[in-house]
Amino acid sequence: MEGSSSSLRGPRIDESGSKTPPKQTSVTANVNVLDTDQVIDHHIITPEGLEKNAFSPLTAFGLAFSVINSWVVLVVGLGSGLISGGPSALVWGFLYAWRNSISWITGMLNVIGLWLGAATAGYLSMILLMAAITVNKPDLALSVGQQYGIFAAILIFGPGVTLCLGVRGNRWLDQGLMVISVLCALAIVIALPATAPTRASASFVFGGLNNTTGWNSIVIAWLLGLLQSAFAYLGFDLIYHISEEMPNPRKDGPKATMWTIIISALSGMAVLLAMLFCITDITSVVSTPYILPFAQICMDTTGSRGATTIFLLIPSILFINSVRGITLTASRVLMALGRDNVLPYPKVWSITIRGEPVYGLAISVVVPLVCGLVQLGSTSTFNSLTGAATIVFEISYAIPAILMLCGGRKKLNSVAPYRTSNLGRWGVPCNLLAVFFVLQSCVIYCFPASMPVDAANMSYVVVFVGGFAIVLAVLWFTLARQRYEAPSEQSVLSIIDKGNPLNEPISQVSMEF
């Protein structure tokens, strides 16, 4: 599996080749903890609280698709793309869109990206709810404190539902919301163009340019417009973080990931085109009194407050589910890092309640709540979280691609030629494109969204990324460097090799390759 990171999981194997399960201490009937003397071994049994058969390919796809919701991100981010580059930036942007230390930093960046992603998803859900309220009560104005209260309730509600439902209930919820997401996307694609009194031309949608950002360069404005499309594609690694709970992750993981990418791309592009073809006046859409341009488009086309409210509430619910899925995923990455002995109190990260690593789940709610406090000072400051989340995620994705380009692919082909996920001759071009996209993203997404710059509209992406970089540096030099050991080549091969008799699952593939 190319492009994944962090650590391996499985039973301990002694020199004779037999499996010897390590010690495991039961706290209660429903709470389990992994003993600390196992943490330095990279063949560690999955905690009893995690069910190996919790996710099938369909349920894994359902979780990933209902969490990523590419089309929902594009619905909320339509306004930014329209003023930064215009319709063409959105359309084409959507399409465009060493050892120990490297392995560790990739895993930690992924966790930080998940935290920032949870905060962003919670914020976008709150914005959609506010838009729905404004459509029905235009004179109602919520204070910043009330907005943060809604934001906090959203962040707490999703993980709370996760713990209440249990494993089977959560999988049913994932599949149900996946179906709702697809049906809502289809409804938007059919209803908006069908009810629109006039439609935009193809030249406007695919070639239209617009720059009201204050930047003198349309190129910079167009590149800034790529941000929303890039953010819509984040999170496809989610499936690999739950692979310990899949019966056959080596085959089912890549399959579920590929289907998630395909369905998300198709639904996202379909909804995006449906919205853009309904725009005949960018100025009136962008300056909408209903907070979101999408709300104005729905009102202009359907002429119904009820239909517009539904089209806003369903994406809001889907974003609430995104928060739930992101925190669920982050808790499992923290569990893996805890078992690698690089987090304080490493054994607590493997304590599970109702199938969930409860301490990882809790901190994955607390950190986004803290990040969300910045909206009390400035909405533009909080909007920088989208850029920060995108950069952090993309760096964690680009590191494996860089390693593959720097000799990793040749080594991987020689030691694991029969792996189930292999890009073949397309590997190098795909890796080069990915690295280039990430490099330009790291530069462009640090630019302010508009000019001239002041305290209200400046980009705080560097502040967020730099702050987390300092935290990571301190954690590495004070704790992780002495305690963390990346998975060895032998441990990787014992799991991903085609002839592996144990057929054990992996959470993510070693960065050593």
pLDDT tens digits, residue range 462-480? Answer: 888 888 888 888 888 888 8
Lowest mean pLDDT among 30-44, 225-239, 292-306, 477-491: 30-44
Q: Spell 213-249 as b/e; 16+ CB within 10 A means b.
A: bebeebebbbbbbbbbbbbbbbbbbbbbbbbbbbeeb
Q: What does the alpha-carbon distance between residue 75 and residue 229 come to, in Å, rounded to a whole number?
A: 10
At 324, which CATH number?
Answer: 1.20.1740.10
Give a yes or no: residue 510 inside a domain: no
Q: What does the alpha-carbon distance between residue 388 and residue 445 come to, in Å, rounded to a whole number?
A: 8
Q: What secondary structure, in 3-state letters, does 393-460 show?
A: HHHHHHHHHHHHHHHHHHHHHHHCCCCCCCCHHHHHHHHHHHHHHHHHHHHHCCCCCCCCCCCCCCCC
Give a yes or no: residue 3 inside a domain: no
Give a yes or no: residue 390 inside a domain: yes
Q: Closest Cα partner for 122 from 374, 336, 293? A: 374
3-state secondary structure of 133: helix
Q: What does the alpha-carbon distance between residue 70 and residue 212 come to, in Å, rounded to a whole number?
A: 25
pLDDT above 90 covers what percent of the chain?
Answer: 18
Give a yes or no: residue 347 inside a domain: yes
What integer is the mean pLDDT of 415-432? 80
Which strand (E) or helix (H) includes residue 487? Answer: none
pLDDT per residue as tens digits for the range 18-66:
334 333 333 333 333 334 333 333 444 455 556 666 667 677 776 666 6
Q: Which ranges of 137-212 would DSSP assign to H, the alpha helix? A: 144-195, 202-207
Which strand (E) or helix (H) includes residue 319? Answer: helix 305-339
pTM: 0.76
Joined tokens for residue 39: 């943490």
Q: What does the alpha-carbon distance between residue 449 and residue 17 come to, in Å, rounded to a whole number?
A: 58
Maximum separation of any 2 CA atoms in the chain, in Å:
75
Give a yes or no: residue 337 inside a domain: yes
Cross-strand pairs, 84: 211
What integer is the mean pLDDT of 69-80? 67
pLDDT above 70 covers what percent of the chain?
Answer: 73
Q: Closest Cα partner for 354 from 61, 44, 51, 62? A: 51
pLDDT per residue as tens digits for the range 235-254:
777 777 777 777 777 777 77
Kindly tell me if the per-residue pLDDT of 508 is higher than 60: no
Q: What does the alpha-carbon distance between residue 471 and residue 183 come to, in Å, rounded to a whole number?
A: 42
Q: Closest Cα partner for 83 from 247, 169, 257, 208? A: 208
Kindly tell me if the per-residue pLDDT of 511 is higher than 50: no
- List the helix and strand counts (H, then E) for the chain: 21, 8
Kindly tell me if the per-residue pLDDT of 365 is higher than 90: yes
Joined tokens for residue 306: 């009820």
pLDDT per residue as tens digits for the range 151-201:
999 999 988 988 888 888 888 888 888 889 889 999 999 999 999 998 888
Cβ contact 90:299 at 8 Å: no
Kindly tell me if the per-residue pLDDT of 136 is higher than 90: yes
* Residue whose entry in the numeric block shows the structure tokens 């942007």: 93
Q: Which domain holds residue 31?
A: 12-496
Give a yes or no: residue 501 inside a domain: no
Lowest mean pLDDT among 3-12, 187-196, 399-408, 426-435: 3-12
Cβ contact 197:434 at 8 Å: no
The pLDDT, as a whole number, for residue 513 is 31
Total domain count, the chain: 1
The pLDDT, as a whole number, for residue 510 is 33
